[in-house]
């Protein structure tokens, strides 16, 4: 690979670097306490959000691994997994009615899922653009993905903060 190709690859990797660094923030959801509200589905929603968070963390681990080796095919597949898993998490989330104590947490969780979904879409289009030799487009898509990961992570942290006592 020539130095121009290596520089291009490094630019793409740098654009995506925010994705891998943000995955640990999803773990905040894991340590959230359970509510005892019986008239609402608070406990069930928290359990569901924890489960979905684990699945999404797996997607980010795959994205991180593919980014480190910069395997565009694998990166695109993990990006698509993120799209699918966040869509399913949002659909599952919509099945729960939570008490007023957790409504802000649920709203922030939905915002996180929406941003992670957009990030996944930009990872997929960035990987495809890279494979087709459209390096500038790929770099721009990876930057957008990193931005959505960052904002999604901020929302996930807020969701976890609302759940904490």
Q: CA 105: distance to chain centroid?
A: 17
Domain boundaries of the chain, sorted by first residue: 38-163
- Tokens 């291009």 belong to residue: 8
- Per the rule left: phi > 0, alpha: psi between -120 and 50, beta: everything else, 70 is left
pLDDT value, residue 89: 98
How many residues would you count in the chain? 165
Q: Which contacts (CB < 8 Å, 24+ apart) does range 44-47 have?
A: 44/96, 45/93, 45/96, 45/98, 45/102, 45/106, 46/102, 46/163
Closest CA to 145 of 115, 165, 100: 115
Does residue 134 sit in helix, strand or coil? coil
Q: What is the largest CA-CA distance in the chain?
A: 64
Instruction: Spell out the per-residue pLDDT of the chain, length 165, in tens.
Output: 444 434 434 444 444 444 444 443 334 344 444 444 457 899 999 999 999 999 999 999 999 999 999 899 999 999 999 999 999 999 999 999 999 999 999 999 999 999 999 999 999 999 999 999 999 999 999 999 999 999 999 999 999 999 987
């Amino acid at each position: 690979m020539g130095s121009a190709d290596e520089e291009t690859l490094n630019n793409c990797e740098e654009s995506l670097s925010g994705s891998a660094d943000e995955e640990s923030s999803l773990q905040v959801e894991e340590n959230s306490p359970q509510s005892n509200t019986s008239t609402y589905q608070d406990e069930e929603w928290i359990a569901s959000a924890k489960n979905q968070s684990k699945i999404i963390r797996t997607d980010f681990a795959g994205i991180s691994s593919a980014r480190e080796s910069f395997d565009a095919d694998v990166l695109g597949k993990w990006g698509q997994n993120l799209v699918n898993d966040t869509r399913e998490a949002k659909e599952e989330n919509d099945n729960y009615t939570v008490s007023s104590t957790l409504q802000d947490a649920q709203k922030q969780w939905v915002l996180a899922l929406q941003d992670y979904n957009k990030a996944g879409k930009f990872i997929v289009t960035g990987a495809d653009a890279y494979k087709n030799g459209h390096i500038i487009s790929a770099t721009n898509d990876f930057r957008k993905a990193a931005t959505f990961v960052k904002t999604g992570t901020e929302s996930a942290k807020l969701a976890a903060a609302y759940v904490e006592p």
